[in-house]
Structure 1
Amino acid sequence: MCDIAMESISNLLSKSPIIPACRSDKQLEDALCSEVNVIFLLESNISNFKEKIEAIKAVNKYAFVHFDLINGLSQDNSALEYLVDQCHPHGIITTRKNLIMTGKKLGLYTIQRMFLIDTTSITSAISMAKNTKPDAIEILPGIAPKVIRAIKNKIETPIITGGLITNSVEIVNALKAGAVGVSVSRQSLWSSVE
């Protein structure tokens, strides 16, 4: 089990709503030394995911792994059980409904990632969040405060946003629109936003 007691994702992000989204070893190394509370591990493979997750946990940060992007593992329930057995991350990020359900059964935080490209995808995202009941949804791209507000008005699920964010104004606008967190890859944006 996790070595940090579970609380709501909103609470995890209340003091530090910025989430480093790490694709490279250098990004992860920098995120481990940052003041953030949660780290998204976006890329890993079957030979290094355990080491990366353990490094995040070793500095008392919450480790969320984008399960769909672990090279060498299929995206099925058995592979998720294997991940949990090997290193038990605090949570997963996935686009797959079945993995949200399995992750919840395994005691993980679950974040359902959704790509919003038109009004139909927004309606679908709202419906999916109501059905799967993840701990949070992550909507991409993150530069549309109008969309964040529209979804927030229809569901109670906490919203994280990310993608295409290039400056602190976009982070502030996402948070003002109702997002509880913003995932960003740019290290220059990982410090607190006022």
Structure 2
Amino acid sequence: MENIKQLVKNYPIIPACRTKEQFDDAVESQAKIIFILESDIYDFKDKINRVKDNGKYAFIHFDLIAGLAQDENALEYVKDMADPTGIITTRKNLIVKAKKLGMSTIQRMFLIDTTSIASAINMARQTKPDAIEIMPGIAPKVIKAIKSRIDTPIITGGLMTEEIEIKMALKAGAVAASLSKKKLWEFNCEED
């Protein structure tokens, strides 16, 4: 598989799906990567397989699979049952385990103050995920600050509702933006 940075090079929008409607639309979109944010023990396999069957890369938010423990055994189960491209998680131990299982990893980090920024940088240096997703995505200054201190590709998401916010995030150094708003999935960042 190509690395995350290569996958989003020509289309830096990642649909982030919570509802069935979002998921259905995302599978039909131009995006190469789809974030499955909500699933459960009954549907995660079908969702992952549908993404893969459509020639796209499935990243499942492991922490949000209802009905599964958020531990390493459950991670092995998901890998064995559906083999997603990768996982999204906030948990360091799951990043390490997923990498050992040959999965791509995205470490989601919530940034609320300067301490959380420093903690995010240290965590990324320790776990070496394939990418980090920083939230909220409306803080280009924070993207620049993190980008200047680590080489890990940055995906940004959360609270982004306008095209200008996507442009600012990409200009600040993010490689992609994960978005739940369908109207932004077809955004052409090369315009202007």
Aligned letter for 1:193? C
- TM-score w.r.t. the length of structure 2 is 0.98
Q: Distance in 1 between matches of 2:184 and 2:104?
A: 24
SS at match of 1:11: helix
SS at match of 2:164: helix
Structure 2, unaligned stretches of length 5 or more?
A: none
- TM-score w.r.t. the length of structure 1 is 0.97
Query: Aligned pair 1:150/2:149, yes or no?
Result: no
Structure 1, unaligned stretches of length 5 or more?
A: 1-5
Aligned letter for 2:176? G
Q: Distance in 2 between matches of 1:61 and 1:15?
A: 14
**1:3 aligned partner:** none
Q: Deviations over 1:132-170 (max 9, x none)?
A: 000000000000000000000000000000000001100
- 1:8 deviates by 1.5
Query: Aligned pair 1:193/2:167, yes or no?
Result: no
- 1:86 deviates by 0.2
Q: Distance in 2 between matches of 1:153 and 1:30?
A: 35
Q: Distance in 1 between matches of 2:155 and 2:97?
A: 21
Which of 51, 68, 90 pairs up with 1:95? 90
**1:124 aligned partner:** 119
Query: Aligned pair 1:11/2:9, yes or no?
Result: no
Q: Distance in 1 between matches of 2:21 and 2:47?
A: 12
Q: Distance in 1 between matches of 2:52 and 2:26?
A: 12
SS at match of 1:35: coil
**2:179 aligned partner:** 184
**1:175 aligned partner:** 170
Alignment of 1:33-44 (within 5 A): 33-44=28-39
Q: Distance in 2 between matches of 1:51 and 1:9?
A: 23
Alignment of 1:38-57 (within 5 A): 38-57=33-52
- 1:115 deviates by 0.1
SS at match of 2:58: strand
Q: Distance in 2 between matches of 1:108 and 1:84?
A: 8
Aligned letter for 2:189? V
- 1:193 deviates by 2.4
SS at match of 1:103: helix
**2:65 aligned partner:** 70
- 1:7 deviates by 1.8
Q: How many residues align?
A: 189
Q: Distance in 1 between matches of 2:3 and 2:189?
A: 21
Q: Distance in 2 between matches of 1:193 and 1:57?
A: 25
Query: Aligned pair 1:133/2:128, yes or no?
Result: yes
Q: Distance in 1 between matches of 2:169 and 2:105?
A: 21
Query: Aligned pair 1:20/2:2, yes or no?
Result: no
- 1:18 deviates by 0.3
